[in-house]
Amino acid sequence: MPRQERVRSKSGYYHIMLRGNERKNIFLDEDDKLRFIETIKEKKKEDRFYLQAICLMDNHIHMMMSEGTENIAQIIKRITVSYVYYFNKKYKRIGHLFQDRYKSEAVEDDNYVLALARYIHQNPIKAGMVERLEDYKWSSYNGYINKNAYISKIIDAEIVLELFSKDRGEALKKFKEYSNASYNEPFMDLQEESNDEEKGREIYKKMLEDLGEIQPSEELIREFRRNTGLSIRRIADITGLNKDKINKIIKS
């Protein structure tokens, strides 16, 4: 079946999602995330594109970006080729790191720009990784509220902030309030995450059966996370364990 043609954005704005191949992690330590940020910084030169929001999760990335002198396909290719070269060399591996085709959707109106930025910044909270937006340093939320944050060097915040107010102080105040509010808007990866959870339940059940375990061991939890790349929240839903306990196991 031929691939469906991508929808071109009339505004030039896009929601981009990159996922690890077979849902595996694309960042194994903080240096990897730093390298991705530096890659973005390098590829943004000469106004090739602009980045309004980003969140680096362990096995996927969400970005809101707009085209500059290059189209979205060229932009993503520049970023991914450079990062994959670094990752494969560092970890002495070959082959694909990202899923073959990035996911994208057009962003055409101001309301969606705001809603998408909020969705991207709330990813770590939805995954049970942090309780407050400002506690996660690998999203652009901190790039908005703190000019000294490392990630601020790659963020073009003006477009989003000016939708709240021309006065920067007032805009930041409204941005914080809006970013921390709950939402009901659907976004392009929700159905896929639901499918991932269903597959995850099957994998978890088989792992328990293969090991003859009734309750999961810490090593099984870590192996389950490595095999599926599911969020802490979804692992908690599947295993029935407390999110804090799972977080502690994974980090140990």
pLDDT digits (tens, 9 = 90+) for 195-237: 566 778 888 888 888 888 788 888 888 888 877 777 777 788 8
Query: What pLDDT shows up at residue 247?
Result: 78
Distance, in Å, from the CA atom of 56 to the CA atom of 53, rounded to the nearest integer, reads: 10
Structure letter (DSSP) for residue 216: -
b/e 143-169 (16+ beta carbons within 10 angstroms → b) = bbbeeebebeebbbbeebbebbeeeee
Distance, in Å, from the CA atom of 221 to the CA atom of 235, rounded to the nearest integer, reads: 8
Distance, in Å, from the CA atom of 175 to the CA atom of 160, rounded to the nearest integer, reads: 8
Structure tokens at 118: 């909020």
Query: What pLDDT shows up at residue 1?
Result: 35
Query: What pLDDT shows up at residue 3?
Result: 47
Distance, in Å, from the CA atom of 86 to the CA atom of 131, rounded to the nearest integer, reads: 32
At residue 144, does pLDDT exceed 80?
yes
At residue 102, does pLDDT exceed 50?
yes
pLDDT digits (tens, 9 = 90+) for 10-42: 777 899 999 998 888 999 999 999 999 999 999
Cα atoms found within 13 Å of the Cα of residue 240, Cβ hemisphere only? 6
Q: Which residues pair with 105 in a beta bridge?
A: 15
In the three-class reduction of DSSP (H, G, I as helix; E, B as strand; rest coil), residue 113 is classed as helix
The percentage of residues in the chain with a pLDDT greater than 90, rounded to a whole number, is 54
Query: What pLDDT shows up at residue 191?
Result: 43
Res. 188 pLDDT band, cuts 50 70 90: low
Mean pLDDT (whole number) for 115-143 = 93
Pairing of strands 60-67, 49-56: antiparallel
Distance, in Å, from the CA atom of 44 to the CA atom of 64, rounded to the nearest integer, reads: 14
pLDDT digits (tens, 9 = 90+) for 151-178: 999 999 998 999 999 999 999 999 999 9
Contact criterion met (CB below 8 Å) for 216 and 224: yes
pLDDT digits (tens, 9 = 90+) for 48-85: 999 999 999 999 999 999 999 999 999 999 999 999 99
At residue 2, does pLDDT exceed 60?
no
Count the neighbouring beta carbons within 10 Å of the beta carbon of residue 237: 16
Structure letter (DSSP) for residue 206: H
Which residues make Cβ contacts (< 8 Å) with residue 141, sequence separation at least 6?
Answer: 121, 133, 134, 179
Query: What pLDDT shows up at residue 134?
Result: 94
Query: What pLDDT shows up at residue 238?
Result: 86
At residue 186, does pLDDT exceed 80?
no
